[in-house]
Structure 1
Amino acid sequence: MTARATALLLLLLALAAGGASAAADCSRIVGCSSCSYELDKDSASVLVCKACGQGYALKDTKNLCACAPGYTARDADGTALGRCIPAPAGSVSAGGAVTAAATVSRVCLSNSKPNAAGTACLCDPGFYVLVGGQTPRCSACAGNTYLDAPNTRHACKPCGAARTANGDHTACVDLVTALTSKAAAELANVTGAVNSTLAGIAGRANGTLTTVLDRVNDTWTAVTDRVTAPWTAVTDFAANVTDHPLQTLEGLLPGDASISSSAASGRFNLTATQERLSKITSRLNPLAKAKLEKLVDLSTTDPTKRAQAMQFLDTVDTVVKRGTTILAVVKILSMILGGAGLG
């Protein structure tokens, strides 16, 4: 029996002893999905791959699987993985042996994307390939030229007569239509800018007006508070001395037409205020006269009359002082309001 016949007999015996599992064990070949034992030229039994799995391609020797195009056997750092993986997004790979450096993926440059197979970079529509370099560099079409699809062209296509390239140079359009559209777009830009400017001016004007009104209201409130406070003090004092023998104190006040109610109404009538000032002044003068007349009671020997006289004089002094104070405050207010034209 020859050596070849002996090897063949041994192979058959091995298959018979191990069953189908011996022929189907393809894990020894990376990426292999179907394999079997065959005799090589030296009559030796070898495991031969018949088909490779996803991402792998069968080599001519039929005993190895290489990375298919679009797959790489190295990670982003270039480290060998010992298996094939899809090229990263935005990258391409020509494939090759699992252990070969050629299976490193390449990132597509600006304005380009991988083709469907992931084997080459294509320039985007409107861009063409600049000559030179393994990974293409893509440049924009210029002038009256265009490219309407992903490509590896080295030049853009010209538009015909009465035609012109659109804005992104991906198609040709009618020249008149293009000029009309451009004019309309420019007009829209100008109109938008004008409207934006007018809106800004209106907004600033409204803001300024609001600020002025707020300040006027704040000022008016402050003036009202300053006038109302001393006037209320005089009113309270008069209420406390109602039972005093000097009954003319009741006429010192202007009644329900008070400064506070006038201020609260939002308008301040200078004429009415001047009339109130005259009334207050006319009351203060009799108070001074009554004070002189009451001095006579201080010389009496009756202690009760003397105490009443002293209490009366103190009260008159207080009323005159407070009345004089409010006269001064109201007079200043009148000057302020008159100067502002609010009287």
Structure 2
Amino acid sequence: MIDIQRSPSSKLENTNFDNLLFGKVFTDHMMECDYIDGEWQKPVIKPYGPLSLDPSARVFHYGQAVFEGMKAYKDKDDRIWLFRPDENFKRINRSGKRMAIPEFPKEYFFEGLEELLKLDKDWIKKGFGNSLYIRPFVIATEAGVSASAANEYKFMIICSPAQAYYSGEVRVKFSEKFSRAADGGVGFAKAAGNYGAQFYPTDLANEEGFQQIIWTDANTHEYLEEAGTMNIFFRIGDKLVTAPISDRILDGVTRKSVITLAEEYNIDLEVRRVSVQEIVEAAEKGELKEMFGSGTATVINPIVGFGHKGKKFDLPKLEDSYAKFFKDKLMKIQYNEAEDKFGWRYEVK
């Protein structure tokens, strides 16, 4: 059993659900579990609030931190659903292993997550686009600045009500100089430092009118890999193309789902290396019909244009786009409005 400490009051009545900024508002409770003396202790669900950590906690000095991103959805009958949570559980432990963080027990993860969602169920609003963003994460808490893996950690889950992640049109820049990850590194892991290292080059791209960067391979910058918060798909003619996962590219849950749906609906899809030159030439010839990103926060996000070496390219606006098709299929499964023949939905009872 999980120790549950209920909040004496709720922030719900003071929350404007019609004007939410992504990741700024948090629910009334959080889950916390400490790793001490070689084992994970009993998880606790407690009122959401600040942490007290020693200034020498190793997360601050050596960046031992990994996280996940998930969502909970509420259908028309007030039932609560998760989307492929097993994948997130496996990935946070895979990320943790690369950062020398001990594996978190599956029963603690799912019991803690379900109890937290049931306690804060009123924060999950019905309707397409409404969801509860779930952020599991682990940090190294042991005090001391010796350069070695910590012996103490804290696993937590916090939740934030969400609407659509991006608003407005999204344009991307193909990276020509900076790299997100290299062979043998931690690009496949959701390590906190992966994201921190992206902020400066993304700020530079923002100044040029782009919202995101599509990262290229660190060796040659000739092959497109993924964006900062999304895996990327390209539609050349009627063929969909995406880069293969590797130790540089995150194994996205939404990406996997798009590939499965493409196979199910006989959409021509290739998983292979995608060169910058191929996409630029396809755009110049009018053969590049679409680009879109996939990810937990955004689901499917159409990209209206891209830039490379000072040139800017706009993509055509399609009525029957693949982006729209996949987003509709995925969201109907997530919100329990369509058959789930793949077994992706997970009900919180």
For the superposition of Structure 1 and Structure 2, which TM-score range results when normalised by the shorter chain? under 0.3
Structure with the higher strand share, 1 or 2: 2
Radius of gyration: which is bigger? 1
Higher RCO structure, 1 or 2 (CA under 8 Å, sep 6+)? 2
TM-score scaled by length of structure 2: 0.18
Structure with the higher helix share, 1 or 2: 1
TM-score scaled by length of structure 1: 0.18
